[in-house]
Amino acid sequence: MNRPYIICHMVTSIDGKVTGNFLSRPECEKATEIYYEIHRNYKADGFICGRNTMEESFAGKDDAPHYKYKNVEVPSGDFIGDKDAKFFAVSFDRHGHIGWKSNYIKDDDPGYDNAHIIEVVEFDAVGTGALAYFRDVGISYVGTIGANIPLALQKLKENFGINTLLLEGGSAINASFLYADVIDELSIVVAPVIATRTDKSLFEYSKITDFELKEIKQYDNGVVWMNYVRTEK
């Protein structure tokens, strides 16, 4: 395989929603705890999130200060900010907007802490100011022309030796990976609650895709973990 193995790992409601107020309910506490435990147990080389999830969970809402670097020349191509990094936070952020303050994630959970940040950008959409800022902070980046998830994943494997990644939302990036035909496994922790109609689903849009049940496990408090693997394409 010329790309990392991708496991879509998410907490959902019974009706398949992944965002919304239901996540803060007491019924979801056990599900969230199990979710993080499974995340750690996978021992993946890193995790993938879209811009919104990265900002909400790790980076904050401040945009990168592109204006300070607008006149800085940037070499073409990808950039490796830390050649010794072994664990990665892969941020799909086409315009390079996220205002990271460091090139590593700082988090209380060891499943996320000390992950080196890699920005996945689109070279025809991102400004040179953003790339210059990432270089200055030591944040790695890889780019494609337009949205090209298979090529971006190939670059992650070639440039960083990444073999396995957890795809952890949100709904839009999950759908993009599904349509790109690069989700190899599903790891779904189901909380015993139904969400609202306006909450976002596991995939913002979807297509018929076949998976085979590999394992199912029931926990206390009505939580269920379902693990599916992709059938032969």
DSSP bridge pairs for 165: 6
Asked if residue 39 and residue 139 are part of one domain, the reply reads no
Instruction: Give the domain-ending residue among 107, 139, 162.
Output: 162
Per-residue pLDDT tens digits for 218-233:
998 899 999 999 997 6
Q: Both 55 and 154 in a single domain?
A: yes
Top-confidence residue, 129 or 70: 129
**pTM to 2 decimal places:** 0.95
Q: Which two tokens stand for residue 223?
A: 């939580």
Per-residue pLDDT, 233:
64
Specify whether 158 is located in the same domain as 222: no
Q: Domain check: are 3 and 63 in the same one?
A: no
Residue with tokens 């009706």: 15
Residue 65 scores a pLDDT above 90:
no
Q: Which two tokens stand for residue 135?
A: 């270089």
Q: Do residue 154 and residue 182 come from a single domain?
A: no
Instruction: Spell out the alpha helix ranges (H) of 116-223.
Output: 128-137, 149-160, 171-179
Q: Decide if pLDDT at 99 tops 70.
A: yes
Residue 175 and residue 216 in one domain:
yes
Q: What is the pLDDT of residue 164?
A: 98
Region 102-116: mean pLDDT is: 96
Tell me how many domains the chain contains.
2
Question: pLDDT tens digits, residue range 196-218?
Answer: 999 999 999 999 999 999 999 99
- The mean pLDDT value for 88-107 works out to 96
pLDDT computed for residue 71 by the predictor: 84
Whether pLDDT at 82 is above 80: yes
Quickly tell me which residue has 């990432």 as its tokens. 134
pLDDT band for position 27 (50/70/90)? confident
Q: Give which of 42, 37, 55, 35 is closest to 7, Cα–Cα.
A: 42
Which pLDDT belongs to residue 66?
A: 80
d(CA 232, CA 100): 39
Please give the pLDDT value at position 220. Answer: 86
Does residue 30 sit in the same domain as residue 121? no
How high is the pLDDT of residue 4? Answer: 98
What 3-state DSSP class applies to 121? strand
Mean pLDDT for all residues in the chain: 95
Q: Are residues 69 and 153 in the same domain?
A: yes
Q: Give the residue among 133, 131, 121 at the shortest CA–CA distance from 91.
A: 121
Range of the domain at 58: 46-162
Answer whether 163's CB lies under 8 Å from 194's CB.
Answer: no
Tens digit of pLDDT for each residue in 117-170? 999 999 999 999 999 999 999 999 999 999 999 999 999 999 999 999 999 988
Residues in contact with 62: Cβ distance below 8 Å, sequence separation at least 6, in sequence order: 99
